[in-house]
Structure 1
Amino acid sequence: MQWIIRQIAAEIRVGEEQVRAAVQLLDGGATVPFVARYRKEATGGLDDVQLRELEVRLVYLRELQDRREAILRSIEEQGKLTPELRAAIEAAPTKQELEDLYLPYKPKRRTKGQIAREAGIEPLADRLIADPGLDPAAQAQAFVKTDKGEGGEDFTTVAAVLDGVRDILSERWAEDPALVQQLREWLWSEGLFKSKLATGKDENHPDVAKFRDYFDYDEPIGRVPSHRALAVFRGCQLEVLEAKLSLPVEPEPGKPSIAEGRIALHLGWSHQGRPADDLIRKCVAWTWRVKLSLSTERDLFARLREEAEKVAIKVFADNLRDLLLAAPAGPRVVMGLDPGIRTGVKVAVVDATGKLVDTATVFPHEPRRDWDGALHTLGRLCEKHGVNLIAIGNGTASRETDKLAADLGKRLPGMQRVVVSESGASVYSASEFASQEMPDVDVSLRGAASIARRLQDPLAELVKIDPKSIGVGQYQHDVNQGELARMLGAVVEDCVNAVGVDLNTASVPLLSRVSGLSGSVAKAVVRWREAHGAFRSRQQLLEVSGLGAKTFEQSAGFLRIRGGDNPLDMTGVHPETYPVVEKMLAAAGKPVQELMGRGELLKTFRPERFADDRFGAVTVKDIIVELEKPGRDPRPDFKVARFNDGVEDIADLREGMELEGTVSNVAAFGAFVDLGVHQDGLVHVSQLSHKFVNDAREVVKTGDIVKVKVLEVDPARKRISLTMKLGAPAGRRDGPRDNRFEGAARGQRAPTNPAIGSAMQGAFAKLQGLRK
């Protein structure tokens, strides 16, 4: 365990004692949010990002250690574990390198090389590679068998014996960990990731044409961006594309490749015209073409996919975090409109607490076109319930429905309207929880209610939906679903606990995301609330069936009670530290109500004065910060984006138009912006700022309201190119952007790089001998 702690400490650049304390807390059942917020003293202030990274690496390194021990046992049972091999296995830093070392000893089906060894041909192979001056044919005579083996093995000719030599040597070299790792890293650096249209596919077919950018594509594999890698892999899975790994310089027909030259370099051999050199050259070629080329391609494709998936999952997680922490409209009466054409616009009104109070369906669009009737119905509902905020789903007929809401606003001054994402609303509407919340309401009307609640409190509403259904991912169906679910679950947990949860109004899905609370305990909390009324204090949580002291410790600090018996229960101060607050009250000579929110008074307190053996100065400082702004919400203030009138469809867009929109999704290569025309526009990373931008998230995040200019519109392909460079460019201080591979993101072919490093020169020198 000590080496794991040392490794993690080095990776996240913290002290070993910090890591050891965090591991002990996590192993003891503590959650990341709890440790990050209430155990800073123990961990030396590790934040939630560091703890999440620590948690992931802890799992990986423990799995690595388990595999290491299993491999050592296996090799030891074979009687082949030498001190040198043990040291190499114990020092292997990754699962891949561990498997490379294990490959020669891994139980497998009988290979041609193994059959040749069993036939006693290995001494000949050793003799020829040690002294290429020997004549292979002459030496092989002594190894020719008079009869075939019992299993049909045929070494009755010189040619068959020499084939056995080839099989033994190529297998031996292909299982050389140093050679395999060297070739793998060289090709990761220099190899080309290529794709082309699969044979027999019609490039004009709609399902094929979407991959047009990759019909003739190549790029250095180590520099392929996540989105392009996943696009190619998806195309291959659909049998639209064919992908392969190519050498940086393809060999001429009949000539040795650079890869064969690198194998020769590793072996310290070159063709010098000796009797055995032709045979060894064939063995080298066989090693690459038959043994290593496909396995190396497979390994590097797996590595590319793994790294691309990591990026894609991180993009999804970052966007989800931004969406969950978007500005809430707060406790306002909201009307939700779920747009539709023939089926009508579904209407739901929710009160300030999110309770559904009224529903309707209006038909302002085709075929009824009852515009005035729809306005009358909406106006009546607004006056009846005091609505001054309308949430409009961004699906079909969104812009037409937004225009309807705009006309309503002319009749009702002060009315605000916001177009919100309705991704996942249908999933929620048909869910078991939605049927429990609104049992007698039509499924379509539940969607309108969900849209309204998303505006009130995005976090509280979106936690009811599987994060994968929220629609802010990049190739989310092409990545490891287990890893995606783990990461998104962690994001939701962190966001919920960062904001805090109202114990007396929170739903079961929201409560189940609170630190320490499982789904069953969350249901028990709601049942207690329904049976006994609102919680008056956090201590009453201990009366809930199934909620013990450990769960209370993990969850209590993140649960809020407004208007309860103890004002501290509405803050992020943990009940375990209430005695520290009591010391402060005694020192100030004031009740807690007069202390909370009094920043000027609280700033006079010295944390060291109130620290003790259990709670140090760091914890006391956090308490003071919380008392300065009790129950603070870390989310930004609510703002509304305004769409341009007359711009309702992609056909209404013109180059040069300046518009306002909402960032709907962010990827490393750019940001997608909802302009209200049913098709998001793309601001490429190079168009986000006059300054150099490496990652789009440096400039924007999901939910931001931005001003953009239309650069290009392609209605046929439904592509909108935007820029955020609206003003005069600032003086450039950074170097020019490397645009070599940005073109591929815009549908242009990325150039290849045939440059060869110094190590390649040596390979070519060996090739001169190979080509004789």
Structure 2
Amino acid sequence: MTITQQLAEQLHISAKQIDTVLSLLEEGATIPFIARYRKEKTGNLDEDQIKTIEERYAYQKNLQKRKEDVLRLIDEKGMLDENIKEQIESAQKLSTVEDLYRPYKEKKKTKASAAMAAGFGPLARSIIEHPDIDPNTLGDHDALVQAGYIIAERIADDAAIRAALKEQMIRYGTIDSKRKKDAQDEKKQFEVYYDFEVRIAAIKHFQTLALDRAEKEKVMTVTLSMDEERAEQKIVSRIVPRDAKTRPFIEQCVHDSMKRLLMPSIKRQIRSELKETADVKAVQTFGTNLEHLLMTRPIKQKRVLGFDPAFRTGCKLAVLDENGTMLTTAVIYPTAPHNDFEGSKKTLSSLIRKYGIDLIAIGNGTASRESEQFVAKVLKDFPAVQYIIVSEAGASVYSASKLAQEEFPELTVEKRSAISIGRRVQDPLSELVKIDPKSIGIGEYQHDVDQKMLSNALDFTTEKVVNKVGVNINTASKSILQYVSGLNKRSIAALYNAKTDHRIASRKEIATIKGISEKTYEQCIGFLRVPESEDPLDHTGIHPESYPTALAMLEKLHLNIHDLGERAFKRKLAIADAEKLAKDLGSDIYTVRDILKELSSPGLDPRDSLEAPLLKHDVLSMSDLKRGMKLEGTVRNVVSFGAFIDIGLHEDGLVHISKLSEQFVRDPNDIVHVGDIVTCFVEGVDEKKGRISLSMIPL
């Protein structure tokens, strides 16, 4: 089978679709562009499917290259036969190829290689080939010891034996952990693993990551165990008959091979594969969380006051207009040690009146609780103004960044943080793309997983969301432009300089900017919006290459482009026959459907259809919570064992996976996502530890 045929079988799609995707990628097309504007060629494959094809193909190419190298190396030694050739060519994994190559590989000096060099190879071969001859008649004790080293290594290098032993260990073995004597675990984060045992086949990915971290921090000893005596007997039986005179000697060789070579190697391999599987799952969870966070519905056309709480240094305030432009900043001291309630109230009230504040966004960090109580009291005089608690994870990272310094060179780090907190409410996507996703508090063991894999996955997720939402070219920051399909540093600089000089008036104008090549224009233009353009199609996600089709469609439907958005215009589009239009226009069904959708809702932000964030007037404290109390909250983070819910307190509550639904839940993301508004019930409160247990099942 060709690589394409293998992938088609694995992914349950046609070989033609895979060839098309690979061809488009080879031509320089980006994944968002292919998913959005080449549906007719790919059969409507989405970004995740295209990404999977790209990754799997790269792996298979690498696998094929390694197979060729291994076959060549074995052949150069004059040891290649049809059997080993067939095994290598049919291998599905790199690890299998390496196991098959193991017996032929040049090794560092070992006991076996020393014995071979000393001339004990023929004795070892004689013992293996003549099971009916007592080994003691073939050589003295020292000679047999040396021959045993050679046989032990051959056993350890046997790919079939290694595969069988590995499968046996995974199926029946256990992974155990014990707390080390005098180990430091002050926060007791690994307490559940102090005396822990689970079948290797049943271990959860987060348990693997926890054990790896505990071992790395020297808190725990982690071991893999199995019935080694039974495994040894199985290996012996593969090599010699039960009544063979060499059996006792072979048993000794197998025992030596198991203890010294096989088990340490197999255990390392299993631990490595468990880690790899855990990394993939943790990265997937992080990516899912990030996608939902970036898709949080923005609160548009509201004047927002960003409120960064603090004690000693005071609370920093930033007033933002409807577009996120900073109007003014201030510092107040309503909390300890200053306790200037009246002066702070006067300043905040003045800002609300002067700038017509609609919403106050309070960061959830230090002094958040006290700041919320202060704001709630002040807002009693302003019933139309609401507040919201905002996760400020990563705000300090952004505030101290070079980007923040360029945006607000005259402001302190804390005031920049207040601006970031306010903007997170107005346009979460535009603000969060400025921050390393690993700093925004939605991961699980993110510092323990493969960092390159994590970064690649999060970049892909961000790119997918940015292009799904679209970008207003005249308000776009460099941070968000770096995720737009087809743009690189050079083209971003060209675009940014052009829009800084004057507002861009049309998509056609972008094509004339020096530094924007024809290919770059093709890849990016459909994702860039120009609301100021006189051409209504420039406000939409319709690609300029499809403008003639869109205009021809409107002509067929007897509609005027300038009536875009009118009720009658939308009604006629809603009843249009997409299949007939595709045929009449010589187009394809996917392009026609997308054009109809875009014309029906030009410039529609897909985030607007999601649930709006919870806004508050009142204030809640842990002492207010009672078992069974019904609350509404926002999902802040989804992890393997449940979900953390913001119910308006400094502390998020945890809904354990067993409390997410009355039905069995395999993955919390099947039930909730970051940003969801959920109804939950208080199950328990531990004020000393600051822990809140919640349930989504009525108590």
- Contact kept? 2:554, 2:561, Cα under 8 Å: yes
Deviation at 1:306, TM superposition (A): 0.6
Deviation at 1:504, TM superposition (A): 0.9
Task: Find the partner of 2:164 among 179, 182, 189.
Answer: 182
- Contact kept? 1:345, 1:361, Cα under 8 Å: yes
- Contact kept? 1:425, 1:450, Cα under 8 Å: yes
Mapping of residues 33-432 of structure 1, within 5 Å:
33-140=32-139, 158-201=140-183, 205-206=185-186, 209-247=188-226, 249=227, 257-270=229-242, 272=243, 275-432=245-402
Deviation at 1:278, TM superposition (A): 2.1
Deviation at 1:450, TM superposition (A): 0.4
Q: Secondary structure at the match of 2:515?
A: coil
Deviation at 1:672, TM superposition (A): 1.0
Q: Secondary structure at the match of 2:138?
A: helix
1:535 aligns with 2:504: yes
- Contact kept? 1:662, 1:673, Cα under 8 Å: yes
Residue 759 of structure 1 aligns with which residue?
none
Query: For the structure 1 residues 293 and 644, does the alpha-carbon distance in structure 2 shift closer, same or farther, using more than 3 Å as the test?
Result: farther
Q: Secondary structure at the match of 1:168?
A: helix
Query: For the structure 1 residues 714 and 226, does the alpha-carbon distance in structure 2 shift closer, same or farther, using more than 3 Å as the test?
Result: farther
Residue 743 of structure 1 aligns with which residue?
none
Deviation at 1:331, TM superposition (A): 2.7
Deviation at 1:640, TM superposition (A): 3.8
- Contact kept? 2:316, 2:332, Cα under 8 Å: yes
State the alpha-carbon separation in 1 of the partners of residues 338 and 255 from structure 2. Answer: 74
Residue 3 of structure 1 aligns with which residue?
2
Deviation at 1:451, TM superposition (A): 0.5
Deviation at 1:578, TM superposition (A): 0.5
1:21 aligns with 2:20: yes
Deviation at 1:703, TM superposition (A): 1.3
The one-letter code sitting in structure 1 at the alignment partner of 2:192 is: D
Please list the CA deviations of residues 506-528 of structure 1 after superposition, one character each: whole Å capped at 9, or x if unmatched. 11111111101113322221110
Deviation at 1:176, TM superposition (A): 0.8
The one-letter code sitting in structure 2 at the alignment partner of 1:682 is: L
Task: Find the partner of 2:482 among 508, 512, 516.
Answer: 512
The one-letter code sitting in structure 2 at the alignment partner of 1:671 is: A
Please list the CA deviations of residues 5-30 of structure 1 after superposition, one character each: whole Å capped at 9, or x if unmatched. 11221222100000000011112111
Please list the CA deviations of residues 515-549 of structure 1 after superposition, one character each: whole Å capped at 9, or x if unmatched. 01113322221110111x21111011122221111
State the alpha-carbon separation in 2 of the partners of residues 383 and 577 from structure 1. Answer: 49
Query: For the structure 1 residues 289 and 269, does the alpha-carbon distance in structure 2 shift closer, same or farther, using more than 3 Å as the test?
Result: farther
1:582 aligns with 2:551: yes
TM-score normalised according to structure 2 size: 0.96
1:600 aligns with 2:558: no
Q: Secondary structure at the match of 1:193?
A: strand
- Contact kept? 2:619, 2:648, Cα under 8 Å: no
State the alpha-carbon separation in 1 of the partners of residues 407 and 333 from structure 2. Answer: 27
Q: Secondary structure at the match of 1:428?
A: helix
Q: Which runs of 5+ in 1 are unaligned?
A: 141-157, 250-255, 728-772
Q: Secondary structure at the match of 2:336?
A: coil
Greater RCO, CA 8 A, separation 6+: 1
Deviation at 1:623, TM superposition (A): 1.0
- Contact kept? 1:644, 1:660, Cα under 8 Å: no
Q: Secondary structure at the match of 2:17?
A: helix
Query: For the structure 1 residues 713 and 38, does the alpha-carbon distance in structure 2 shift closer, same or farther, using more than 3 Å as the test?
Result: same
Query: For the structure 1 residues 235 and 189, does the alpha-carbon distance in structure 2 shift closer, same or farther, using more than 3 Å as the test?
Result: same
Query: For the structure 1 residues 269 and 631, does the alpha-carbon distance in structure 2 shift closer, same or farther, using more than 3 Å as the test?
Result: farther
Please list the CA deviations of residues 358-394 of structure 1 after superposition, one character each: whole Å capped at 9, or x if unmatched. 1001110001111122121111111111111111111
- Contact kept? 1:336, 1:348, Cα under 8 Å: yes
State the alpha-carbon separation in 2 of the partners of residues 551 and 662 from structure 1. Answer: 39
Task: Find the partner of 1:666 among 624, 634, 638.
Answer: 638
Query: For the structure 1 residues 67 and 567, does the alpha-carbon distance in structure 2 shift closer, same or farther, using more than 3 Å as the test?
Result: same
Q: Secondary structure at the match of 1:478?
A: coil
- Contact kept? 1:399, 1:676, Cα under 8 Å: no
- Contact kept? 1:189, 1:222, Cα under 8 Å: yes
- Contact kept? 1:393, 1:451, Cα under 8 Å: yes
The one-letter code sitting in structure 2 at the alignment partner of 1:42 is: K
State the alpha-carbon separation in 1 of the partners of residues 416 and 12 from structure 2. Answer: 48
Deviation at 1:601, TM superposition (A): 1.2
1:639 aligns with 2:609: no
- Contact kept? 2:74, 2:104, Cα under 8 Å: yes
- Contact kept? 1:328, 1:637, Cα under 8 Å: no
Deviation at 1:422, TM superposition (A): 0.6
The one-letter code sitting in structure 2 at the alignment partner of 1:348 is: A
TM-score normalised according to structure 1 size: 0.87
Identity %: 40
State the alpha-carbon separation in 2 of the partners of residues 542 and 673 from structure 1. Answer: 46
Deviation at 1:581, TM superposition (A): 1.3
Q: Secondary structure at the match of 1:659?
A: strand
Residue 150 of structure 1 aligns with which residue?
none
- Contact kept? 1:608, 1:616, Cα under 8 Å: no
Please list the CA deviations of residues 695-714 of structure 1 after superposition, one character each: whole Å capped at 9, or x if unmatched. 11111111122222222334
Task: Find the partner of 2:453 among 464, 474, 483.
Answer: 483
State the alpha-carbon separation in 2 of the partners of residues 269 and 395 from structure 1. Answer: 70
What's the RMSD between the two structures over aligned residues? 2.0
Deviation at 1:401, TM superposition (A): 1.3
Deviation at 1:194, TM superposition (A): 0.7
Residue 680 of structure 2 aligns with which residue?
708
Query: For the structure 1 residues 605 and 706, does the alpha-carbon distance in structure 2 shift closer, same or farther, using more than 3 Å as the test?
Result: closer
State the alpha-carbon separation in 2 of the partners of residues 135 and 716 from structure 1. Answer: 73
- Contact kept? 2:40, 2:590, Cα under 8 Å: yes
Q: Secondary structure at the match of 1:242?
A: strand
State the alpha-carbon separation in 2 of the partners of residues 135 and 605 from structure 1. Answer: 87
Please list the CA deviations of residues 316-355 of structure 1 after superposition, one character each: whole Å capped at 9, or x if unmatched. 1010001000111013211100111111111001111111
